[in-house]
Amino acid sequence: MAASKTTRSGSQTGAKKGAKKSPAKSAFTKEDYLTWYEQMLLMRKFEEKAGQLYGQQKIKGFCHLYIGQEAVAAGSVSALKKGDKYITAYRDHAHPLVLGSDPGKVMAELYAKETGLSKGRGGSMHMFDKENHFYGGHGIVGGQVPLGAGIAFAEQYKGTDNLCITYLGDGAARQGAFHEALNLAMTMKLPMIIAIENNGYAMGTSVSRTSNVTDLSQLGKAYEMPSESVDAMNVENVHHAVVRAAERARKGDGPTLIEFRTYRYKGHSMSDPAKYRTKEELAQYKKLDPIEQIRNILIKKKVTESQLNKIDEKVKGIVADSVKYAEESDFPKAEDAYEYVYVQEDYPFEKG
């Protein structure tokens, strides 16, 4: 791996200061790496297509792409089990893809079509898939953190050994709701993983310009919460960190805060030209690309370029099919605007 270089007005790329490396590597199989490769490639190609379609005005409104951060979602899901719950902010297209949601339904939601994951009512920022335990997709900065605590409490109350992993960005770590949720989660020993996807810039201002605390894992220490920073450009590191946190949660020892040091290649949203960073910095991070790391491991494991190209073509086909599905789907009818809003059919304020 390339040597660390100082960027982000003081933070570091690669094995960043304060970021723990994973312990001795577990016996990941070639199939594990192939799964990670296909999952992350699907996220990448899907998001690249979404960006292209946004430029064509087929996707409208806000659109926040996950390109560069794929190892966080892939490594988290591989470390957890069926029944665990997931909730995130508005950079939410990739998480349902790796959880097994139909890519066509994800794309249809971006198109605001009736066949979308949220019936076209949520759009880019509000994806939900109950079947795959994905609870959003939330547009209020930091608003999903107390919701994640509530989901974790529900699992604790029901006596399951499930947990809730709650993702947020580095900017949301400055919100009061974040700190309130951490205090409650630690006090009640909730089965929860608080995962800060620290891509360095929040909406467009570096972490070092918004706080004296740039190692965000330190925020958990105010609540005596076990916390660590992880180089999250590497999917193995993510997997190991989530395994450690999950073991703690399932034993009843409560939550863990993980700061995933990652990087987004695109701006905060499609309307952000990202002029607050240099081309050189972006190029440095691309040398650490999580997908290329796995591709190189697979080549060392004697997976041929031909085999990898077949996966590439398969993923491109899935993305193309998702676009076709979205294009051919219908928009919701105007008269159905109140459908799927309230569980109670005769809710008194529905048409008030």
pLDDT at 100 over 80: yes
pLDDT at 348 over 90: no
- 171: tokens are 């900017």
Mean pLDDT over 140-148 rounds to: 97
Q: What is the pLDDT of residue 346?
A: 75
If pLDDT is split at 50, 70 and 90, which confidence band does 16 have? very low
Q: How far is CA 1 from CA 227, 272, 285, 296, 350, in A?
A: 25, 30, 11, 12, 57
Q: Give all domains of the chain, ordered by start, each with its CATH number.
A: 31-321 (3.40.50.970)
List, for residues 220-231, the tens digit of each pLDDT value: 999 999 999 999
- Name the amino acid, one letter, at 352: G
Q: What is the pLDDT of residue 334?
A: 92
Q: What share of the chain is helix, strand, coil (3-state, %, to 5)?
A: 45, 10, 45
- Antiparallel, parallel or unpaired: β 11-12 and 6-7: antiparallel
Percentage with pLDDT > 70 across the chain: 91
H/E segment holding residue 11: strand 11-12
List, for residues 192-222, the tens digit of each pLDDT value: 999 999 999 999 989 888 888 999 999 999 9
> Rounded to an integer, what distance in angstroms lies between the CA atom of residue 4 and that of residue 282?
14
Q: How far is CA 241 from CA 169, 231, 254, 283, 291, in A?
A: 18, 10, 15, 26, 19
Q: What is the pLDDT of residue 350?
A: 57
- Name the amino acid, one letter, at 233: M
If pLDDT is split at 50, 70 and 90, which confidence band does 12 have? very low
Q: What is the pLDDT of residue 210?
A: 85
Nearest to 338 by CA among 349, 324, 327, 325: 349
pLDDT at 9 over 60: no
The residue among 346 and 351 whose pLDDT is bigger is: 346
> Rounded to an integer, what distance in angstroms lies between the CA atom of residue 313 and that of residue 30?
20
What mean pLDDT is reported for the chain? 91
Adjacent-strand bridge partners of 195: 167, 258
Q: What is the pLDDT of residue 344?
A: 78
Q: Are 320 and 42 in contact (CB under 8 A)?
A: no
> Rounded to an integer, what distance in angstroms lies between the CA atom of residue 324 and that of residue 89?
27
Count of CB atoms within 10 A of residue 45's CB?
Answer: 19
